[in-house]
Structure 1
Amino acid sequence: MTDAAAQAPVPGPWGPRSTAGAMAAAEAASRAAAMPPGWTEAGGPPPPTGWVNPAIAMPQPPNTAAMTFTGLGGSLFGLLTMGFLLQLVTLGLYRFWLITDVRRFYWSHTMVGAEAIGYTGRGLELFKGFLIALAILVPLKAGAFFLALGLPQADMVISIALFLILIFLGQFAAYAGRRYRLARTAWRGLRLRMTGSAWAYAAKAFGLSLIVIATLGLALPWTTAYLERIKMRETWYGDVQGDFTGEPFQLFKSGIIIWAIGFGLPLVMVYQALSGTPSGFFEALWHDARQGDFSPRGPIAVAFIALTGAIVLSGVIAVLLFPAFQAVLFRWRMSGTRLGGASLVSNLTIGRSYRVYGLGMLAAMGCMMVFSLSLTIVLGGLAYTFSTFGSASGTGIAAMVFIVLAYLLSFGAFWIFKQVFIDLRLHRARVNSIAVLGIAALDGVAARNVDASAMGDSLGDAVDIGIGF
């Protein structure tokens, strides 16, 4: 404090006094409040029995903030229903604005303590990004198509190469899309941002995915930790840098049982089925398929059924264990996330994850059955009316229109029910399980914002990776 500031007058109970005098008076009052009754700074009698220093008894300022989600299913249902109908009217063009509205709904109802998160993205940005993504993907797929026509003997190689390229672009889209969403996310008036190269990340992620495949998934904890560390160290909130400190072996220990049941057991089943196949099984199966005969007989049929059953059962086991894996991965990922001096922790349990999926699926299926029955009655009545009073040609056209309309409405209803009963409940369970430790470290953050393109978000949708919202 400068001498001038120390001498500046401030209001006092008996008129103006200096800042230094005010600070001295405040310190004296604080010391007096911390003394037992009858004491002065010079000393005094022993304190009364049971007396507690108020400076010690006073609770310390909280440095932990719980995250909560306040969004209601009814509000999301209305938003999705209106958005779906507008998509039908605009032939799907409204989807970019719908994605923006849905994100704004989720963001604005996600609270960190008493402060909500904001989303500033626009549908037009996603639409422009989609056009850029099409300019990349359309020539790529068209080139692969015409190349396959010119080299039919290399059709399999071309298809595999195109698939690998799309996987690589999907990794690029995952990074670029995350960068766009962070740049449009604001909290306490400051936006987050993300630096780094999406192409470099895509190359690393693509190579690590091959390692995961080669190790039958056992390397997933190490590759995931490495990629999370890359993303978080390029994540900024103002001038505060993020980090990821999750231990791969901790995820390995938590997920090894899930891997053993979901992958190891199916692998053993498939191996047993393959070991029981007669010699020449695949040659005979390939020969029959080339001849157009897909009905194997004798020992070949038995082996085919055993192998198919093992593969299908493996898929069923993997689907049933997916909620458990999601809960373990989410809890581990949150516990390793750092942003400056603040950190996250989650208590999401496997049981909670199963309850969300189980109850959500039951509710969605029940609503879907009621909707399908109502739709059948309404469209059936309309079809009967047209067939009774309309011409034969008009009846055929009306039937086609009803079939297309029934398909679109059924698909839309399933999508809406899934969002309301599963996705919304899962988001609420995840957010409500998170606490921010050391949140006071984010009080003095300074703004340092950069812009980001929406091309990554739209590219992810275009290659059908599903990294939108």
Structure 2
Amino acid sequence: MSEERGQGRLAPVHFTGERSELFGLLFRGYLLMVPTLGIYRFWVTTWKRRFYWQNTVIDGDPLEYTGHAMQLLIGFLFALAFFLPIYIVFFYLSTQSPEITIIGYAAVGVTLWFLSGYAIYRGRDFRLSRTLWRGIRFNQHGNGWGYAWRRFGWSILMVLTLGLVYPFMASNLWKYRYNHTWYGDRQFGWTGSWKTIAGPYYKLYGAVVALAFATIFVSASGGLVEVDGVLMPGWPAWAMGSAAALVLWLGVYYFRSREATRMFSQVRVGDATISVKVRARSLFGQFLLYCLSLTGALVVFGMFIGVIVGSLFGNALMNPGAEGAEFARILQSGWGTIAWLIACYLALLASFALLGEVFLGYGYWMLVARGAVISNADSLKSARATGEDLALVGEGLADALNVGAY
């Protein structure tokens, strides 16, 4: 239900998707990735995006995602061809001296970091070009390589200043992305500055530095304790360090909530403006749900692995001293047993990824969507559609480097 205020009609944003629906979708997709050797993940990504888009209802109308899995697959294959020379370089470096190998790997790592900036921008371009609202398509202009150089330069400054320039970097990159974003013939804009998140960021930064120095001071003044012939800090230092870690852990959620609230609230679309409110305790609550789900998954896997190990090593457990012979027998029994153990390991990793998306990814999207309100929403009714950017085929490097979003 909309409201009328001084800034025009206020249009709410709703998110109607259920966590259980997302879980079922991802679980089915992960199972299908096994016989297809992972290729089905492009279909899983498409399902997931359509789930998020169609359940995000803005002023009574949902978003629509028109991308297809084959587009993502084709883009990924193009990216693999691009990465072939890099794979050859990795192989060549592995045959060189340790000094050359380290320098070479470092150079390749820096190159990949630079390319990830281009990949992020191009991936966002693809997602926007396949997103519609009320039949009107979003789009992104600008230059991907220009964004990559901009991000790379800020990354160097982040290292040189030990993270002090983060508010300047974040505001600059947000402004570039949103000033080149369009909804039909309406241009987005970002009206914030480095001051938008400077307060929360430097509060957290100052707290971390102060607690780090306090931990060092307590360690130095509290004396050392000898444990098995090794000198280690005493309990006051451990207590101080634990308190510092707890503050940092909670501080991250405080900052993420303030960052989402303040940065998204500086976005405008033509004459319409966006206001977002995300609470730190809500973000933290999603993380607690994730931890509980992980605990449950580990218990289930622990019981399952226990049954397997018991059946395989039961004879060894009943006959102490025969462990080596029993292990050799299992290895000689074929690759089936080893394949089962590898499958269990991969299933555990897949469970972590699935639960991370169901609780952390879903939680963040849901909180941002439900905390958003659009002012002067009627100004968007006169927006006119523009053509689809057919030159974009998939996300390419974004998918290959795993820097895509949703």
TM-score bracket for this pair, using the shorter chain length: 0.7 to 0.9
Are the counterparts in 1 of residues 72 and 396 from structure 2 also a CA contact under 8 Å? yes
| Larger RCO (CA under 8 A, 6+ residues apart) | 2
Are the counterparts in 2 of residues 69 and 432 from structure 1 also a CA contact under 8 Å? yes
Are the counterparts in 2 of residues 379 and 402 from structure 1 also a CA contact under 8 Å? no
SS of residue paired to 1:89: coil
How big is the shift at 1:148? Answer: 5.6
SS of residue paired to 2:204: helix
What is the one-letter code of the residue matched to 1:459? L
What is the one-letter code of the residue matched to 1:453? L
In structure 2, relative to structure 1, the CA distance for the partners of 1:460 and 1:344 (3 Å cut) is same
**Does 2:333 align with 1:406?**
no
In structure 2, relative to structure 1, the CA distance for the partners of 1:152 and 1:357 (3 Å cut) is closer
**Does 2:273 align with 1:355?**
no
SS of residue paired to 2:275: strand
Alignment counterpart, residue 327 of structure 1, candidates 249, 257, 279: 257
Are the counterparts in 2 of residues 383 and 398 from structure 1 also a CA contact under 8 Å? no
How big is the shift at 1:335? Answer: 0.9
Are the counterparts in 2 of residues 334 and 345 from structure 1 also a CA contact under 8 Å? yes
In structure 2, relative to structure 1, the CA distance for the partners of 1:267 and 1:83 (3 Å cut) is same
Alignment counterpart, residue 77 of structure 1, candidates 8, 23, 30: 23
What is the one-letter code of the residue matched to 2:46? T
The TM-score with structure 1 as length reference comes to 0.73
In structure 2, relative to structure 1, the CA distance for the partners of 1:140 and 1:392 (3 Å cut) is closer
SS of residue paired to 2:162: coil
The CA distance in 2 between the partners of 1:309 and 1:166, in whole Å, is 40
The CA distance in 2 between the partners of 1:204 and 1:345, in whole Å, is 27
1:380-399 residue pairs with structure 2 within 5 A?
395-399=333-337
Alignment counterpart, residue 376 of structure 1, candidates 305, 314, 332: 305
The CA distance in 2 between the partners of 1:425 and 1:66, in whole Å, is 18
The CA distance in 2 between the partners of 1:393 and 1:302, in whole Å, is 42
The CA distance in 2 between the partners of 1:308 and 1:453, in whole Å, is 53
Are the counterparts in 1 of residues 200 and 255 from structure 2 also a CA contact under 8 Å? no
Q: Deviations over 1:225-255 (max 9, x none)?
A: 1111111111111111111011311310122
**Does 2:373 align with 1:435?**
yes
The CA distance in 2 between the partners of 1:59 and 1:316, in whole Å, is 43
SS of residue paired to 1:443: helix
Q: Percent identity?
A: 26
The TM-score with structure 2 as length reference comes to 0.83
In the other structure, the counterpart of 1:17 is none
How big is the shift at 1:90? Answer: 0.5
Question: Which stretch has the larger CA shift, 338-347 or 372-381?
Answer: 372-381
SS of residue paired to 1:83: helix
How big is the shift at 1:179? Answer: 0.4
Q: Deviations over 1:100-144 (max 9, x none)?
A: 110111111011021000001111111111111112223124214
In structure 1, list runs of 5 or more residues that go unmatched: 1-57, 277-296
Are the counterparts in 1 of residues 188 and 268 from structure 2 also a CA contact under 8 Å? yes
In the other structure, the counterpart of 1:258 is 204
How big is the shift at 1:195? Answer: 0.8
In the other structure, the counterpart of 1:268 is 213
In structure 2, relative to structure 1, the CA distance for the partners of 1:377 and 1:150 (3 Å cut) is closer
What RMSD, in angstroms, separates the aligned Cα atoms of the two structures?
3.5
How big is the shift at 1:64? Answer: 1.1
In the other structure, the counterpart of 1:66 is 12
SS of residue paired to 1:216: coil
In the other structure, the counterpart of 1:453 is 392
SS of residue paired to 1:157: helix
How big is the shift at 1:146? Answer: 1.0
Aligned length, in residue pairs? 384
How big is the shift at 1:445? Answer: 0.8
Are the counterparts in 2 of residues 168 and 203 from structure 1 also a CA contact under 8 Å? yes
In structure 2, relative to structure 1, the CA distance for the partners of 1:211 and 1:269 (3 Å cut) is farther
In the other structure, the counterpart of 1:126 is 72
Larger Rg: 1
